[in-house]
Amino acid sequence: MMKPALKSRTPEDLRGWFESRHQPRYRVDQLLEWTYRRWADCFETMSNLPKNLRRDLDESFDLNSVTAADVREETDGTRKTLYRLRDGESIETVWIPSPKRLTVCLSTQVGCPIGCPFCASGEGGFIRNLSPDEIVDQAIHESAREGRAPSHVVVMGVGEPLLNYENLMAALSALNAPWGMGIGARRITSSTCGIVPGIRRLSKEGKQWNLSVSLHAPDGETRASLVPAENRYPLEDVLEACRMYRDRTGRQVTLEYTLLRGVNDSPGQAAQLASISRELDVKVNLIPYNPVDPLPYRRPDEGAVETFVKAVEAGRGKITVRREKGGSIDAACGQLRLRRG
C-alpha cells in the first residue's frame, strides 16, 4: 500500500492531521517550511520537530513524490532530469539558468494526449495525469539539487497542463503560496496548445499567472495539420479566449510559434501572423524547430528565421526568438518525451 503523498496535502488538511495528534498548530508551519523552503527529502532531518512526531509523519506520509533517476547536464548549465514516480512511471524536468533568471520547466502529464506530429512528447501516447504533489515536487527537487529556488517556473514540459486543470491549480498554488515555495504568480507561466474551456476557466481564477498559447500557424488549415486540438478548438476561438484572458487578468498572453521549414515559414504566413499579433496586441515567441528523430520536420536555417522575423516586424507584429537551450541533451522545447522501463 502506498502512503499518501505529503505534498498533496493542503495546510488545512495538515492542520486536521496535527490536531488529531494533539500537536500544536505551529508544528504545521515548521513542517511546511522544511518541505517547501528547505526542500527536505526526509522527515528525519526536520530537527526542530519532536522525534516521535517525525516518526509518525514518516509512517503516515511519503515526503518524496519524485526521485531523480537520470541527470544530464549541458555545458551552458541546462540540466534535464528524468524523475521516477512512485508507481514506476517517469517524467522529465528541465533546469534552465540564464544570467537574469533561473527557470524550471515542469511536466504535468506522463506522455501527452494531444499528439502534435512535430513534438516528441506525444509520440509514446498518453499514460496519466500527474498529481499536484508530482508537479510541485519537480520544482522542489530541482531547488534541492541546485541549493537555490528558481526565480521563474514554466509549465512547458511534457503534457497539456489545461487538460489536468484541477491538479495544475493545486500545484500552482503550492508553488505560489506564502506557505509554499512563494514564487510570484507573474513569474509562473503555463503553456497550452489551445484548450479553450481551460483558458476561459483560468481567466476567472483571479490570479496573475502568465499564459502562453501554442499557435504554430496563423490559419486554421495549417494549424490543423500541426496541432490536432485545432479540430476541436478552432483558431478564432483560441484567439478569442486569449483576448478574454488578457481583458480579465490584465496579463499579456504570449503566442508560441515553432518555425518549421516549408510548413509555416512563408512570407504570407508571416504577414498573417503579424496581423494577429497586432490585432490582439500580443507578442509572438518564435521557436526555431528543434529536431526530433525520426520526425519528418526540419528547422529553417538562420537566414530564413531572420527573414521570417523581419517580415513579422514589417507587418508591425511583435516577435522575439526563443534562445535555444538544451539541444544537445534533448532538453529543448519539444524534445522531452515519455520514457518507460
Candidates 51-59, 140-148, 261-269, 289-297 — which segment interacts with ligand SAH by CB under 6 A? 289-297
Q: Is 258 in the site for ligand SAH (CB under 6 A)?
A: yes
Nearer to ligand SAH, 81 or 264 (CB): 264
The angle that helices 235-249 and 267-280 make with each other, rounded to 10 degrees, is: 30
Taking the complex as a whole, the smallest distance from the CB of residue 16 to ligand SAH amounts, in Å, to 35
Nearer to ligand SAH, 63 or 292 (CB): 292
Pick from 83, 118, 126, 209 the residue near ligand SAH by CB under 6 A: 118
Mark residues 172-211: x for contact with ligand SAH by CB under 6 A, - for none: -------------------xxx------------------
Distances (CA, A) of 120 to 5, 59, 84, 225, 330: 29, 39, 19, 16, 10
Cell, residue 300: 529553417
Strand order in the sheet with 152-155: 66-73, 79-85, 90-97, 102-105, 152-155, 188-192, 210-214, 253-259, 283-288, 318-321
Which amino acid, one-letter code, is at 214?
A: S
Pick from 131, 214, 264, 272 the residue near ligand SAH by CB under 6 A: 214
Q: Is 126 in the site for ligand SAH (CB under 6 A)?
A: no
CA 271 to chain centre: 30
Non-local CB neighbours of 142 within 8 Å, separated by 6+ positions: 81, 93, 95, 104, 150
Q: Is 111 in the site for ligand SAH (CB under 6 A)?
A: no
Q: Is 315 in the site for ligand SAH (CB under 6 A)?
A: no
Catalytic (active-site) positions = 92, 333
In terms of Cα–Cα distance, which of 215, 224, 138 is closest to 181? 138
Taking the complex as a whole, the smallest distance from the CB of residue 334 to ligand SAH amounts, in Å, to 2
Candidates 111-119, 138-146, 267-275, 308-316 — which segment interacts with ligand SAH by CB under 6 A? 111-119
The angle that helices 132-146 and 165-176 make with each other, rounded to 10 degrees, is: 40
- Measured CA to CA, the distance from residue 118 to residue 233 in angstroms comes to 19
Q: How many residues interact with ligand SAH (rule CB under 6 A)?
A: 17
User: Interface residues with ligand SAH (CB under 6 A)?
Assistant: 116, 118-119, 156, 160, 191-193, 214, 256, 258, 287, 289-290, 292, 333-334
